[in-house]
Amino acid sequence: MKKITKYLSLLLILILVTTACGKKEENIQSEQSKLEEPGTVDDFKTAYINFRTVESYAMDINFDIDMLMDGSTIAMDMNMASEIDKNTNIHSVMNISVMGMSEEQEFYQINKEGKIISYTNIDGVWYYSEEPITIKDNLSDEELNEMINELDVKPVESDKEGYQKYVVGFSKEMLEQIMEKMPEESMNENEEALFDSSIYGDFEFVFYIKDNQISIIELDLSNIMDSVIGEDTEIDAQMGVVMTIELKNYNKISEIVVPDEIIKNALPTDNLTYDGTEQL
């Protein structure tokens, strides 16, 4: 269970990093006409370009999980509610609920003077860490346009009123390109193994677009998670995992500032394990 939770937690962080650090275009496309269902491939590309021009936004990420283990079904819910400001500072609250038990974790990630300063609340105690910003250069406009053109975008009839719906194919090669943008020292060997592209195949996202903006993204991770837990021969389990991302409050997020009380009392994280327990 800890391995699965750790994987999903890392995936949440991956999503935050790859969405919050996008290269901004010069001008947002503000002249937007009411789109007809189901929309076109060009409509999807316009919405994606618009997202890259957004300076701040809120993002809710939710995992709905049903796991069959040794004949028993375990339901698990994992949610991260985040705000990202124009400086790509992040404030997030993550909740994990399983078998009637719940756990909450809050954290800030601040970009300052070439460093990422993180503050994390673990069992009521705030800890901090500092890392140099090591994310590689973002994709150039030419590389980005090439990637978008390689996507298999299929406009389909929407099942949500007021939204356009698109099924978008995503290849493992594109995942490898995204992983290349991750900080070089942000994961240890075990964590990198969880994101080894060899365990992934091609997969499909479902995008919902409203008013020329990406609003909801859905992805069925069941096959991927079966590959992850299959690496551990001691676990006999099957998982149904659906991830939903809701993007909202575009350009409405105020500057994110860590409260002085947290900064003053935060302890270094050097003596903590991933699970927040003290190292001896």
To 5 degrees, how large is the angle CA 207–CA 212–CA 213? 55
In a domain, 100, yes or no: no
To 5 degrees, how large is the angle CA 186–CA 268–CA 125? 110
Domain that holds residue 164: 2-79+136-248
**What's residue 3's pLDDT?**
42
Number of domains in the chain: 1
**What's residue 134's pLDDT?**
60
Integer-rounded Cα Rg, in Å, for the chain is: 19
Handedness of CA 258, 50, 246, 274 (dihedral sign): negative
In a domain, 104, yes or no: no
In a domain, 114, yes or no: no
Helices (H), 132-187: 141-150, 172-179
Minimal CA–CA distance to 98: which of 239, 266, 271?
A: 239
- Write the pLDDT tens digit of every residue in 225-245: 655 555 554 556 677 888 999
DSSP code of residue 199: G
Please, are residues 166 and 156 in contact by the beta-carbon 8 Å criterion?
yes
In a domain, 183, yes or no: yes
In a domain, 101, yes or no: no
- Write the pLDDT tens digit of every residue in 160-170: 999 999 998 87
Distances from the Cα of 133 to the Cα of 80, 113, 176, angstroms: 23, 9, 20
In a domain, 69, yes or no: yes
Residues lower than pLDDT 70 in the chain? 1-38, 134-141, 143-145, 175, 177-201, 224-237, 271-280
**What's residue 98's pLDDT?**
84
**What's residue 5's pLDDT?**
43
In a domain, 6, yes or no: yes
